[in-house]
Amino acid sequence: MLQPVIPIVAGWMRENPGTLSLGQGVAYFDPPPEIHQSIQTALGSSHLHAYGPYDGHEKLIELIYQKLIHENRIQVHHSHVVVTAGANMAFSHAIHAIADPGDEIILPAPYYFNHHMALSQAGLRPVTVPTRPDYQLDLAAIEQAITPRTRAIVTVSPNNPTGAVYPEQDLRSISDLCRKYLLTHISDEAYEYFAWHPNQHFSPASIPDAQTRTISIFSLSKSYGMAGWRMGYMLVPDSLKDSMRKIQDTQLICPPVISQMAAAAALERGRAWPDHFRSTIHHSQKAIQKVLNDWPQLCSGSNPQGAFYFLVRFHLHMSPEDLVKQWIENFRIAVLPASTFGATGCTVRLSYGAIRPDTLAEVIHRLTSALESSANHPLVGIPSSTSPGPSTAP
């Protein structure tokens, strides 16, 4: 199994102080200041120190229900919320609840690295199905990949690592496939607030009757700049309630109480908070897009519709790891090799969510220098490999 790439690239960055990171997928903004007051209040309470309910504290759960109803248009019924220590844990709980070792889970590729790792660690078989050249879902290929061992189809929209936002119609088609073949639709919506106009985020659990077959996963890490607080949650069918309780009790007992109090304060402030910062992130996206467009012979970038990511393919005969290391050492700018996401060739993921308004100019300067240098690479223009077919990995 591959090593998580982020700590490795972080090591290269430590060896090259001053490197600007377009690596890890994080938002540049902090959580709303209201969480400070909520923590002050919490510090006076003994409840802060005791175990809470396995699924989360009542106040937070109620705020989440209201958010799901009003923002995601999910008329919550036959399903319930479980708060976890981050959305990765929600995904891990989900696959443990619905599948047994040897079962197959369909992952459109390129995929979110941690999903792939979680499946392998759970003894499940990730069945990767390449997306189309524009990184949109290949619905026919997904249907063909379904076997009697398939238990779920995973979608991540807006997508990490490609930046694609799947149209409502395609997500409805996935939900239909899940109904037809009695599968679960695992819908990871961690980037729900980061869809670039005119692309719209759509929650499949809002489809009438879909809640009994949908697990919807959300995160406060990106939405509210709260990565360090480890707060995610999911909406799961009532039929999974007993399983979820067992899994949560075994792994976590209950979500960290202080983080739940901060999360409640953030949700009370509401999506006005991420909305306030979104235009800055979109501005960074457009500035980087403009630079990438200057080098059509060197690279083809995705045209992101959402999330924080460009998936950039370089027409170079070198490994993406070598390119990343070179850029860090020579230009003090870090991206991630996209091999880790199941992308082929010399492809890297460039994350722009962490760029602050006052560092954008320097990012553009360094990126331009790096691209100029790579364009002078002797092998530029020779595509490094072709796209593979569907694959299954243990």
Residue 67 main-chain phi, psi, to 5 deg: -65, -45
Pairing of strands 232-237, 214-219: antiparallel
User: Which CB atom, from 80 or from 96, has the smaller least distance to its own copies?
Assistant: 96
Contact between 258 and its own copies per CB under 8 A: yes
**Which residues is 28 bridged to in the sheet?**
none
Backbone CA torsion sign across 193, 197, 369, 375? positive
Shortest spacing between CB 145 and its own copies, in angstroms: 23
Question: Residue 33: is the preceding peptide bond cis (ω within 30°)?
Answer: no
Q: For the stretch 94-133, what's the b/e string if a residue is b when 16 or more beta carbons lie within 10 angstroms of its beta carbon?
A: bbbbbbeeebbbbbbbbbbbbbbbbbeebebbbbbbbbee
Shortest spacing between CB 114 and its own copies, in angstroms: 5
Shortest spacing between CB 2 and its own copies, in angstroms: 8
Residue from 56, 126, 204, 225 binding its own copies (CB under 8 A)? 225
Contact between 89 and its own copies per CB under 8 A: yes
* Total residue length of the chain: 394
Residue count, binding to its own copies (CB under 8 A): 55
User: By CB under 8 A, which span of 22-30, 66-74, 176-184, 297-305 interacts with its own copies?
Assistant: 22-30
User: Which CB atom, from 12 or from 54, has the smaller least distance to its own copies?
Assistant: 54
User: By CB under 8 A, which span of 139-147, 244-252, 279-287, 290-298 interacts with its own copies?
Assistant: 244-252
Contact between 274 and its own copies per CB under 8 A: no
The residue type of 38 is: S
Pairing of strands 104-109, 125-130: parallel
Contact between 43 and its own copies per CB under 8 A: yes
Indicate the Cα dihedral angle 364, 366, 369, 371, nearest 10°.
-70
User: Which CB atom, from 42 or from 235, has the smaller least distance to its own copies?
Assistant: 42
Contact between 92 and its own copies per CB under 8 A: yes
Beta carbons of 334 and 19 less than 8 angstroms apart = yes
Residue by residue, DSSP assigns 71-104 as TS-----SEEEEEESSHHHHHHHHHHHH--TT-E
Shortest spacing between CB 289 and its own copies, in angstroms: 26
Shortest spacing between CB 40 and its own copies, in angstroms: 8
Contact between 245 and its own copies per CB under 8 A: yes
Residue from 48, 287, 291, 380 binding its own copies (CB under 8 A)? 48
Q: What is the DSSP letter of 200?
A: -
Distance CA 23, CA 78 (A): 39
Contact between 118 and its own copies per CB under 8 A: yes
Contact between 149 and its own copies per CB under 8 A: no
Q: Which residues are near its own copies by CB under 8 A? A: 1, 3-4, 6-7, 24, 26, 30-31, 36, 39, 43, 46-52, 54, 85-86, 88-89, 92, 96, 100-101, 114, 117-118, 121, 123, 225-230, 242, 245-247, 249-259, 262
